[in-house]
């Protein structure tokens, strides 16, 4: 069994895989001041409650929150006793990353594109509705050509609510109309329909910039199921895209170490 962990600014998602098939997953909040012992206790509790007792052959981690890297790694080694592979510089991904500085591309974005480009041929774009909303794409040649970073919906909502005394911090739901009849309706429309329009607009510009008429578009992240239904663009929701990509990267690097993979990306 393989453990894939996606450490983000808002949450940590753990997925347990038999080869490349996910069998169980759970998520917890990202808390920078938790110790390795605290994370270990949480991991043990969840595994005990869900009867996850199989020995792990390894763990692969994407981490975009540096303070959490060490305590989570220590917790994994203590609880599961398996080696840990961090996605970063020097790790095989199978992608040609065509950006100015490869270390600027988040490991979660790399994992997303590995999973997406492994399933679909031709140009593929991924919209990740996380703490930030990101748009990334691979071209016809399978090259990761860049990333757009936009404010996340929840981050924008909290920022507005904290800066405008008359506006509350609301939960993201389904907007009833473009122009709301009360404050909550008005904010829902602005944030949900506004985010959908932003994604549609960015994808339209991306296709024009790449010179393509069609493109596969995949969405992931906690708010994908709230925003995507309001987009005009045809978008497939792939909830566990990042975890699936991490496992593909893990298996790729295991083949490399065993000598069955000898070519670079």
Question: In this predicted model, what pLDDT tens digit does every residue of 44-102 receive, in sequence order?
Answer: 998 888 887 667 899 999 999 999 999 999 999 999 999 999 999 889 998 999 999 88
Neighbours of 80 (CB within 10 A): 21
Name the helix (H) or strand (E) containing 126: strand 124-129
Instruction: Write out pLDDT tens, residues 174-190.
Output: 888 999 999 999 999 99
Mean pLDDT, rounded, for 133-145: 95
Q: Is the pLDDT of residue 198 over 60?
A: yes
Query: Are the C-beta atoms of residues 16 and 25 closer than 8 Å to each other?
Result: yes
Lowest mean pLDDT among 97-106, 201-210, 230-239, 251-260: 251-260
Question: What sign does the dihedral 187-234-248-47 (CA atoms) show?
Answer: positive
| Structural domains for the chain | 2-86 (3.30.420.40), 96-244 (3.30.420.40)
Cα Rg of the chain (Å, integer): 19
- Percentages helix, strand, coil for the chain (3-state, rounded to 5) are 40, 25, 35
108 catalytically annotated: yes
Alpha-carbon distance 137 to 147, whole Å?
7
Helix (H, G, I), strand (E, B) or coil at 164: coil
Which of the residues 6, 37, 104, 108 is marked catalytic? 108
User: What pLDDT shows up at residue 54?
Assistant: 64
Alpha-carbon distance 104 to 86, whole Å?
15
Burial class (CB in 10 A: 0-12, 13-18, 19+), 18: exposed
How many residues are present in the chain? 265
Provide the pLDDT confidence category of residue 258 given band limits of 50, 70 and 90: low
Query: Are the C-beta atoms of residues 91 and 85 closer than 8 Å to each other?
Result: yes
Neighbours of 168 (CB within 10 A): 11
Compute, in degrees rounded to 10, the torsion defined by CA atoms 62, 65, 71, 72: -30
Alpha-carbon distance 147 to 104, whole Å?
10
Q: Is the pLDDT of residue 262 over 50?
A: no
Q: Is the pLDDT of residue 238 over 60?
A: yes
Query: Are the C-beta atoms of residues 125 and 203 closer than 8 Å to each other?
Result: yes
Alpha-carbon distance 265 to 98, whole Å?
12
């Amino acid at each position: 069994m393989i453990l894939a962990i996606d450490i983000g600014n808002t949450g940590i998602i753990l997925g347990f895989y038999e080869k490349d098939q996910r069998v169980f997953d759970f998520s917890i909040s990202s808390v920078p001041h938790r110790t390795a012992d605290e994370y270990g206790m949480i991991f043990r509790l969840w595994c005990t409650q869900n009867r996850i007792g199989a020995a792990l052959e390894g763990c692969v981690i994407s981490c975009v929150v540096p303070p959490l890297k060490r305590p989570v790694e220590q917790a994994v080694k203590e609880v599961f006793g398996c080696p840990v592979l961090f996605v970063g510089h020097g790790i095989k991904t199978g992608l040609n990353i065509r950006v100015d500085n490869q270390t600027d591309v988040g490991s979660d974005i790399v994992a997303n594109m590995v999973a997406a480009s492994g399933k679909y041929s031709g140009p593929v774009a991924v919209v990740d509705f996380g703490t930030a909303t990101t748009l990334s794409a691979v071209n016809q040649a399978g090259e990761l050509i860049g990333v757009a970073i936009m404010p996340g919906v929840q981050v924008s909502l909290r920022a507005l609510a904290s800066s405008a005394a008359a506006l509350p911090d609301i939960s993201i739901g389904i907007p009833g109309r473009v122009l709301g009849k009360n404050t909550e309706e008005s904010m829902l429309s602005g944030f949900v329909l506004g985010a959908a329009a932003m994604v549609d607009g960015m994808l339209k510009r991306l296709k024009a910039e790449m010179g393509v008429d069609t493109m596969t578009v995949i969405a992931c992240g906690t708010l994908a199921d709230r925003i995507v239904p309001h987009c005009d663009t045809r978008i497939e929701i792939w909830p566990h895209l990042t975890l699936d990509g991490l496992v593909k990267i893990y298996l790729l690097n295991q083949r490399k170490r065993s000598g069955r993979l000898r070519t670079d990306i």
